[in-house]
Amino acid sequence: MSTLANQLVRAEKEEIARAIRTLLGRPLVSLHDDPAAFDLIRKRRQPLTQWFDYFCGWRLVVEPRQGYARLVKVRSEASATRPARRRRTTRAPFDRRRYTLLCLCAAELLTSPVTTIGMLAQRVVQAAGVEPEVPAFDPVKSEERAAFVDALKLLEHYGAVTAMDGTTDAYLADEDAKVLYRVDTTRVIRLLAAPVPPSRIAAAGGGADLAALTAETRYGGDEPTETQRNLWARHSIIRRLLDEPVVYRDGLTPAQSAYAASLTGRQIIRRAAEEAGFVLEERAEGFLLVDSDSTATDARFPDDSSHAKVAALLLLDLLVSAGPVTAARLEAEAADLLRRFPQWAKAYQSDGGGPRLAADALEVLMLFGLARRGGDQVAALPAAARYRVDRGTDFMEDA
């Protein structure tokens, strides 16, 4: 093969790998928001579609005319680690009320390509009124309007609705605010990543509804064949590797452990990592995929973007060096940090600030697979050794 041909093949592989990591970090990529990324995905959509289907069992939808690409990610197990977040100020996670209004808004937006915020609010009032399990929506109340605005702004963020005249935030102060929206009904439908359409599910309530929504018949249900069991093992392990900061062997099912230990399983895991441009770290305790340019991640650690993450890094040193400690010890350490740096973390510089900072820092460590809490004891997990401080040089190992 000529040098030019080699360069072209290498360039194609690099583009596919970059597009895979882009979609993992942002499952909805819009032409309007990122033309370069969308054009790359559009150009390489066939090998990308094949890669996600083979390694993950995920469907990739690319709509060149409508200008977006949607990776329909489905988790093998339910997780609350990636909540929807408010687009205003605090970026706080959605509560139950906001999720409810988000679903009602999405359903009502499918009825018309153009609407106003007042008309949409009235349709949500009517929809909530006929659903016995849904609390009534009262736009007269400011807290209700705030929840409604948060739901709409998230839909705006995803390009499902576009404000053509006025701003959504105006509705916070005035229920008579005038805002005109254009609705992308196809994109609204694409937002829901569920193998089974909700319309096909008989109401069972709570977790039963969630299990029915995420049921994947390709794996054979209660009586899978050997081929289906291997397919589920492959997809479920690679999904976790792509979605979670670290995957520990003791968290795998027996079927997943057997697959990961098999010659075929190890080869496929390594191939998936290589083709996506990751570095696979395989240890006795588990697996970790490293993305050197952080394209595939929506959260970073270490990171000074929040006080909780800074505190988490400092408290992690205690967990690694002192072994399991009590939650009270972490709270005392956090309180000591606040005393030593009175101009830092102003939101925690009040009564009860130490316990709140410790709780938020521990949440960060647990999210990144670096610590585990059992009862009153908090212990570092194996991946925490990556952040060990060398006392001789005061050098912190880079993640």
pLDDT in tens, 314-344: 999 899 988 799 999 999 999 999 999 999 9
Out of 49-63, 101-115, 130-144, 210-224, pick the least confident. 210-224
247 within 8 A of 210, measured Cβ to Cβ: no
Tally of CB atoms within 10 A around 270: 13
- Write out pLDDT tens, residues 25-49: 999 999 988 999 999 999 999 999 9
pLDDT at 270: 97
110 within 8 A of 83, measured Cβ to Cβ: no
In degrees, to the nearest 5, what angle opens at C-alpha 30 toward C-alphas 28 and 35? 135
Closest CA to 73 of 48, 56, 51: 56
What are the CB-based long-range contacts (under 8 Å, 24+) for 383-390?
383/245, 383/246, 383/285, 383/286, 383/288, 384/316, 384/319, 384/320, 385/320, 387/302, 387/313, 387/316, 387/317, 387/320, 388/317, 388/320, 389/317, 389/320, 389/321
pLDDT at 187: 92
332's CB contacts (< 8 A; 6+ apart) are 354
Residue 390 binned pLDDT confidence (cut-offs 50, 70, 90): low
pLDDT at 202: 64
CA distance 386 to 319: 13
Average pLDDT of span 236-259: 94
Higher pLDDT, 193 or 155: 155
Residue 1 binned pLDDT confidence (cut-offs 50, 70, 90): low
pLDDT at 398: 43
pLDDT at 99 over 60: yes
377-380/389-390 β-pairing: unpaired
Closest CA to 380 of 330, 316, 331: 316
Average pLDDT of span 299-312: 88
28's CB contacts (< 8 A; 6+ apart) are 68, 69, 70, 71, 158, 159, 190, 191
- Kindly report whether the global pTM for this prediction surpasses the value 0.85: yes
Average pLDDT of span 299-313: 88
pLDDT at 25: 93
Average pLDDT over all residues of the chain: 89
pLDDT at 7 over 90: no
